[in-house]
Amino acid sequence: MKQTLEYIKTIAEKPDTFVQFQKSILPSEQVEILKKIPRLAMGEIRGVESMGAVYAALERKTVDAFLPTVVYTGTEYGEWKTFLKHLNTLKKKIEKTYQIYCLEPVLIGAPEFWGALNGRFMHELLHRFKFYSPCLGCRIYCYAVRIPLCKQLNCSVIISSRTPGNSTPVAINASQEVMYYCNTLLSNFGINLMYRIVEENKQDIIEQDAQVKPIGRRDTCSCCLFKENYKMMRNDPKEPHDNKKYFEQFAIPAAAKIVSRVLAGKMPDYLHEVMNTLLPVENIKSKKVHNR
């Protein structure tokens, strides 16, 4: 595994790897090798607690090679050394148990993209859709950032870290609604989202088997400043809010436009693309006035 300091440096600086993937993260020679692997799968790693789910999903998926990926947003905090240690353990366990070639983890992200999609227009989104949490678009962002790398490597499968069974309460960014729209975004670019539902009573067994079971707060990593921001202090609504309009009128179109520009080799203006998605009518009017 790479030196921990290299990963810590990336986490600290959080470069935009979305627009221009840096050779220092994945050398061009390795990219060419990976492109030739017929069944390469990319893994979504979101913390120590997510590793067991990815491990369980690989049991039911025929894969020749596995690339763990971690996406940073600019809102995370916490201790990373334990996380990276667990990730190295997971890598060895996957290779030993499933006989799958597991690559070194890759850290990618574009905090400006996250900010434009989830932070800058919070008040506007709340006013327009009557409910808003940055967690909704955060998961969209996390998959969107992986799309150019998938295309670069000819990878058509992302293995999700979603774990809860139908009877288990889930965080808003792991709900069936959110996962449906994440899958919608990815499928538009020819990428399949795969995951295995793990019932709560089996989760401990899988984590122990994968040797990545979290142990208290010291194993909590990549915590988010906005964690559980959608929860009330008391009397949380029993039924989650319907966010169909938010996803279909804003999050999916905005993310898809930005991804498309990147795949076309263009430098996206994140704020401009998001603003154009929010205010298409006003933009059309301003163009007509300008043309007179």
Three-state SS for 268? Answer: coil
Give residue for tokens 């006003």.
282
DSSP 28-83: HHHHHHHHT-TTEEEEE--SHHHHHHHHHHHTTS--SEEEEEEEE-S-EES--HHH
Residue 274 exposure: Cα atoms within 13 Å on the Cβ side: 22
pLDDT at 84 over 60: yes
Contact assessment for residue 47 and residue 83, using Cβ atoms and an 8 Å cutoff: yes
Tell me the mean pLDDT in the region 156-172: 70
pLDDT given for residue 41 in this prediction: 96
* φ/ψ bin of 181: left (φ > 0), alpha (ψ from -120 to 50), beta (otherwise): alpha
Element (H, E) at 10: helix 4-13
Pairwise pLDDT comparison (210 vs 59), residue with the higher score: 59
pLDDT given for residue 58 in this prediction: 87
User: Using CA atoms, how far apart are residues 60 and 135, in angstroms rounded to an integer?
Assistant: 29
User: How many CB atoms within 10 Å of residue 188?
Assistant: 14
pLDDT at 220 over 50: no
Using CA atoms of 7, 10, 14, 16 in order, give the dihedral in degrees to the nearest 10: -110
User: Using CA atoms, how far apart are residues 212 and 88, in angstroms rounded to an integer?
Assistant: 10
Contact assessment for residue 25 and residue 106, using Cβ atoms and an 8 Å cutoff: yes
| Both structure tokens of 35 | 């492109």
Model confidence at 44, pLDDT cuts 50, 70, 90, reads very high
Three-state SS for 250? Answer: helix
The answer to whether the predicted template modeling score (pTM) of the entire model surpasses 0.85 is yes
Average pLDDT value over all residues in the chain: 83
Q: Structural domain tally of the chain? A: 1
Element (H, E) at 109: strand 106-109
CATH number of the domain at 22, please: 3.40.50.620
Element (H, E) at 193: strand 192-194
Beta-carbon contacts of 128 under 8 Å, excluding residues fewer than 6 positions away, are: 250, 278
pLDDT at 281 over 80: no
Lowest-confidence pick of 82-86, 190-194, 210-214: 210-214
Burial of 265 (0-12, 13-18, 19+ CB in 10 A): exposed
pLDDT given for residue 163 in this prediction: 53
Contact assessment for residue 54 and residue 43, using Cβ atoms and an 8 Å cutoff: yes
Q: What are 221-263's pLDDT values in tens digits?
A: 557 888 777 776 766 655 567 899 999 999 999 999 999 999 9
pLDDT at 205 over 80: no
pLDDT given for residue 289 in this prediction: 44
pLDDT given for residue 283 in this prediction: 53
Q: 31 lies in which domain range? A: 4-228+235-291
Q: What are 108-151's pLDDT values in tens digits?
A: 999 999 999 999 999 999 999 998 999 999 999 999 999 999 99
Element (H, E) at 278: helix 270-278
SS (H, E, C) 113-144: HHHHHHHCCHHHHHHHHCCCCHHHHHHHHHHH
